[in-house]
């Protein structure tokens, strides 16, 4: 599909979500990595893995996301695990009330 006006608006939305949103940078980058992994977007993964490493996440987090099977829901005791699960679920479809509830409690 070739639609420059639509492409510009989608780009604006992406820019707003990335830079104008309220998520802290490290959580935002983890959400981007989870989404890139779940839809097999190699370019996004490589670009954002570098950015995510500058936020100094625990050593295993990026590797766990890289090796995560889309079908898996690995429990995690870290406080941000709810945000990570939400990002993974959002990339696969509609969010449930329980997903949003767990985010609010985190």
- Over the stretch 72-96, which tens digit does the pLDDT of each residue have? 544 444 555 565 666 666 655 555 6
Flag whether 83 is in a domain.
yes
- What's the domain count of the chain? 1
- Over the stretch 7-52, which tens digit does the pLDDT of each residue have? 899 889 888 888 888 888 888 888 889 888 888 889 999 999 999 9
Flag whether 5 is in a domain.
no
Flag whether 93 is in a domain.
yes
Q: How far apart are alpha carbons 97 and 88 in whole angstroms? A: 15
Residue 79's domain comprises: 23-105
Q: How far apart are alpha carbons 57 and 73 in whole angstroms? A: 20
Predicted structure pTM score: 0.58
The answer to whether the beta carbons of residues 80 and 60 sit under 8 Å apart is no
Flag whether 2 is in a domain.
no
Distances (CA, A) of 59 to 42, 65, 83: 21, 11, 18
pLDDT the model gives residue 74: 47
Q: How far apart are alpha carbons 85 and 25 in whole angstroms? A: 17
Give the pLDDT band (50/70/90) at residue 5: very high
């Amino acid at each position: 599909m070739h639609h420059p006006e639509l492409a510009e608006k989608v780009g604006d939305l992406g820019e707003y979500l990335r830079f104008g949103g309220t998520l802290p940078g490290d959580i935002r980058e983890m959400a981007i990595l989870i989404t890139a992994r779940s839809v097999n977007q190699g370019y996004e993964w490589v670009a954002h893995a570098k950015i995510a490493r500058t936020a100094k996440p625990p050593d295993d987090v990026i590797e766990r996301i890289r090796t995560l099977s889309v079908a898996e829901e690995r429990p995690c005791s870290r406080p941000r695990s709810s945000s990570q699960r939400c990002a993974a679920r959002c990339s696969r479809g509609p969010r449930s009330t329980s997903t949003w509830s767990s985010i609010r409690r985190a």
